[in-house]
Structure 1
Amino acid sequence: MSEPDTSFETRDAAGDAHEAAVDDMRETVEAFTYDGDRSRLDHFSGAPEERDLVLGDDDPRDAALAERPVTEDVAWTGKIFNVDRLRVQLPDGRLAIRDVVRHPGAVAIVALTEDGRICLVRQYRTALGRVTVEIPAGKLTPGEDPLECANRELLEETGMSAEKCAFLTTIATSDGFTDELIHVYMATGLTFTRSDPDADEFINVDLVPLEELVDAVLDGRIEDAKTVVGALICDAIMHRLTPEDPEE
C-alpha cells in the first residue's frame, strides 16, 4: 500500500510560515517607523534660543534627548565595517530600531608643499561610480595611534614623508548612521620617496595650488566631505596667520 502524498501539506505549511514571517516583518517595520504618519506624536522641538554656543551633552536639556540602548546585535560583518542593529528606548518610552555602521575610524591628511600646493589623490570610488579627487586618507587599524596612521597613509598613498604632522580636527562623517570618526592632520616639510599603496588601491597623485582647491570646494565641484573640511580649515588657518591689512 502506497504512502499518502504529504507534499501538498508540506508546501502549505511552508507557505503559511512564510506568510507569517512576512506579516511579522511588516508589523515590526510599522512599529518602528516614525517617518510617515505623525498624528500620534505629541512632542515638539524646543523654541529657538539666541545664546552662546553650547556643545552636545553640555546643556542640561540634552539629558531629555537621550536614547537608551536596550539590545544590540551584529546584523552584518564586513571587511571594513560591521552593521549593528540596536533596539533603543526613545525619550518618551517607545522603542525604535537603529541600524548603525560600526567603523574603526580613519585619518585624513592636508599635505602642503613649501610653495603652497596641496597633495591630492585621484581614485576610482565604486560607490559613486567615478573618480574622485580627495586628500589622502586611510583606515585606522585597531589600537593604532592616529598620528602614526596619518604618517603611514601619507607615505603609502603619495610617497610623501612629512617633517611635521599636526592635528587639525576630528569629524563625524555621517553620525545619522555610523560612528566613524576621521582625524584630520596637516603635514608640512614634505619630501618624496616612494609610494606603497594597498594591493587593491590604484591612485594618481596631484599637487595643486591650495586656492584652486578652496575655489572648487566653494563652488561645489569637490564633494568629498573630508576634503571639503580639510581645505576650508587650511584656508581659514592661512587667513588667520596672515590677516588682511584693513587699509587695503
Structure 2
Amino acid sequence: MSDTDKNQQQAAIDDMRASVAAFTYDGDRTSPADHRSGAPEARDLVLGDDDPRDAALAERPLTEDVAWTGRIFNVDRLRVELPDGRVAIRDVVRHPGAVAVVALTDDGRICLVRQYRTALGRVTVELPAGKLAPGEDPLECASRELLEETGMSAEKIAFLTTIATSDGFTDELIHIYMATGLDFTRSDPDADEFINVDLVPLGELVDAVLDGRIEDAKTVVGALICDSVMHRLTPAPEE
C-alpha cells in the first residue's frame, strides 16, 4: 500500500471515529458529563413519568430509520435530543411483544418446556411462551401458545403481570398469565420448534430460581409471582 493510500485510509478511520464520538454518549466516559444524578430521596414509590421531575429526563426523538429487518423483530436507529440539548444515537429492537404462561396443575406442578436456544448455545428450561401475532389479544395468545407448545388446554387463565425484558435496547413486553384446570390434548409446535415438556413441583422451580440455576427472565418472574400468590392464598396456621 502506498503512502497516499495509507494516508487516505487513516483519514477515513479518523473521520469515522469523529462521527462516532459526535453521536455516542451512552456509556461514553471520555467526555465528563457536566450534570449529576438527582440526589437520593427517601419517599414512597412513585412510578415512571408520575414524578414531575421525570419531564427533565426525557429524550426527544429526532429521526428514526429501520436499520435491519428480521423475521421476528426489527432494529431501528434513532437520533435523539438529550435533556441537555446534545444529540445521541439509540439503537432499538422493535418487537411485537410476547406472552408466557405459568401453567399450574392441580397437584402443584408447573409446566416447563425444554428447548435449545441458539443465542446461548444450550438447552434452557422455561415457561411456555410465544410471540404475539399482529393485533392478537395477549390472552388468546397465551391459550394458543400453551396448547401449541405443551398440548395443555386450561379451564382458567388469569393475568399476572407484564415485564419489559430489557428496556435498555428493546421495547419488547412479555405478558405473563397463570393457567389452571389443565387438560392434556395434543401439542402442535411450530415447524422449527423442538420441545420436551416437564411437570415439576413449584417448590423445586422456586428453589432453582433462588439458587440462580434458572436464568430465563420470564420464568424467574413467573415462578416467584406464582409462589407469592400461592402463599397469599394459603391461610396462615392458627396458633
Give the TM interval when normalised to the shorter protein.
over 0.9
What residue number does 2:138 align with? Answer: 146
1:131 aligns with 2:113: no
Q: AA paired with 2:229?
A: I
Q: AA paired with 1:23?
A: D
Deviations 1:107-162 (A, max 9, x none): 00000000000000000000000000000000001100000100000000000000
- How many pairs were matched up? 237
Equivalent in 133, 148, 159 of residue 156 of structure 1: 148
User: What CA distance in whole angstroms lies between the structure 1 residues aligned with 2:118 and 2:80?
Assistant: 33
Superposed displacement of residue 17, structure 1:
7.2
What residue number does 1:5 align with? Answer: none
Q: AA paired with 2:223?
A: A
What residue number does 1:114 align with? Answer: 106
User: What CA distance in whole angstroms lies between the structure 1 residues aligned with 2:12 and 2:72?
Assistant: 31
TM (norm. structure 2) is: 0.94
Q: AA paired with 2:19?
A: T
1:153-192 mapped onto 2 (5 Å cutoff): 153-192=145-184
Equivalent in 212, 218, 222 of residue 220 of structure 1: 212
Partner of 1:211, secondary structure, is helix
1:202 aligns with 2:159: no
Change (3 A) 1:18 1:143: farther
User: What CA distance in whole angstroms lies between the structure 1 residues aligned with 2:238 and 2:88?
Assistant: 55
TM (norm. structure 1) is: 0.90
User: What CA distance in whole angstroms lies between the structure 1 residues aligned with 2:18 and 2:7?
Assistant: 16
What residue number does 1:238 align with? Answer: 230
Change (3 A) 1:86 1:14: farther
User: What CA distance in whole angstroms lies between the structure 2 residues aligned with 1:12 and 1:144?
Assistant: 60
Superposed displacement of residue 37, structure 1:
3.0
1:70 aligns with 2:51: no
Superposed displacement of residue 24, structure 1:
3.0
Superposed displacement of residue 27, structure 1:
1.2
Equivalent in 15, 23, 42 of residue 24 of structure 1: 15
What residue number does 1:48 align with? Answer: 40
Equivalent in 72, 82, 85 of residue 80 of structure 1: 72
User: What CA distance in whole angstroms lies between the structure 1 residues aligned with 2:30 and 2:21?
Assistant: 13
What residue number does 1:6 align with? Answer: none
1:104 aligns with 2:65: no
Superposed displacement of residue 39, structure 1:
5.0
Partner of 2:229, secondary structure, is helix
User: What CA distance in whole angstroms lies between the structure 1 residues aligned with 2:77 and 2:9?
Assistant: 23
User: What CA distance in whole angstroms lies between the structure 2 residues aligned with 1:190 and 1:196?
Assistant: 16
User: What CA distance in whole angstroms lies between the structure 1 residues aligned with 2:22 and 2:5?
Assistant: 26
Superposed displacement of residue 47, structure 1:
1.0
Ranges in structure 1 where 5+ consecutive residues have no aligned partner: 1-10
Q: AA paired with 2:203?
A: E
Equivalent in 195, 212, 221 of residue 229 of structure 1: 221
Aligned CA RMSD, in angstroms, stands at 1.9
Deviations 1:50-71 (A, max 9, x none): 1110000000000000000001
Superposed displacement of residue 78, structure 1:
0.4
Change (3 A) 1:12 1:246: farther
